[in-house]
Structure 1
């Protein structure tokens, strides 16, 4: 009887040990499953983090390119405003240039008419031409047009156009001897250079 009880106890102990081993195996299996899930989760988190970093870098690059484009556009717009302002100022400053260019041949003809010999018969006509000529010059002067002084001055290629040369030792070299046609300036711009004869 004692043997039967011992056998029963052994069987019970063996069953309990088996159950404990099965329980341990279940715990180990669960731990392995959890570890695998954690590894998978960590890999997924790492992939998501890497993807986020790449997206951030891409957005940063796009932002930098947009900023540079904006800076260039702002600079171009500032240059456009400055250029437009200068053009408007030049237009205002030299607005009468076209009119002056149209009037210069008429003024030249007045000067030729004033070179004729005056007689008693032509005196009144001469006085009238002189008066109109002076009015024209005054009107041009009011718009900033000035006659270029040439005769006796040193030759300046910016305002003089030499068409003849002479050799006269009594006059300094490179000096304008005679003005053949008057030159005109509008403010600081040469409208027409003086046509001159220059000493070598």
Structure 2
């Protein structure tokens, strides 16, 4: 073999060695990349599972909150009038006493006086809860507060003025509980 051929073979062998080393290095780098990708994938899967568990817990908490709120709302609806009824019980007791005293004594004047006192006690209790009677006579007719049942001729009042209250109207806090039944001038 000539020197040139030997030199070419040596060069080829060297290139193969370098090429093999580079291939090994590329394989090692790709293995590292695969390991890093597997590690990142595993980390992402773990995060996804944690997020899924967190989501399920939050959903369960929300369902429990919704059920508890619904139950509280139902109880509030059932027992909303409990406070008012508790305040009205003394009025009921006083009516019972008045009826019992009237049947024993037969004194209707003191019965009337007692019933008047009980009525004032009842009005006071209802006012404390925000109930107010409307004062409508002499006021202009307003369909939001009044229910006209009749029109009457009136020399004293202009047209559209409430002349007589047939049934009282009431306002609870800021809302009309019952409109007043009235006669209106024409």
TM-score (structure 2 length as normaliser): 0.52
Matches within 5 A, 1:64-79: none
How far apart in 2 are the matches of 1:169 and 1:183? 25
How far apart in 2 are the matches of 1:36 and 1:188? 87
Unaligned runs of 5+ in 2: 49-54, 93-106
How far apart in 2 are the matches of 1:52 and 1:28? 35
Q: Is the 8 A contact 1:97 1:186 kept in 2?
A: no
Pick the aligned partner of 1:145 from 131, 135, 144: 131
Matched with 1:27 is 14
How far apart in 2 are the matches of 1:51 and 1:196? 85
Q: Is the 8 A contact 1:160 1:196 kept in 2?
A: yes
For the aligned residues, what is the CA RMSD? Answer: 5.1
How far apart in 2 are the matches of 1:142 and 1:20? 115
SS at match of 2:21: helix
TM-score (structure 1 length as normaliser): 0.49
Pick the aligned partner of 1:190 from 173, 176, 182: 176
| CA-CA distance at 1:137 after TM superposition | 2.0
| CA-CA distance at 1:27 after TM superposition | 0.4
How far apart in 2 are the matches of 1:158 and 1:60? 61
Unaligned runs of 5+ in 1: 1-13, 62-68, 107-120
SS at match of 1:197: strand
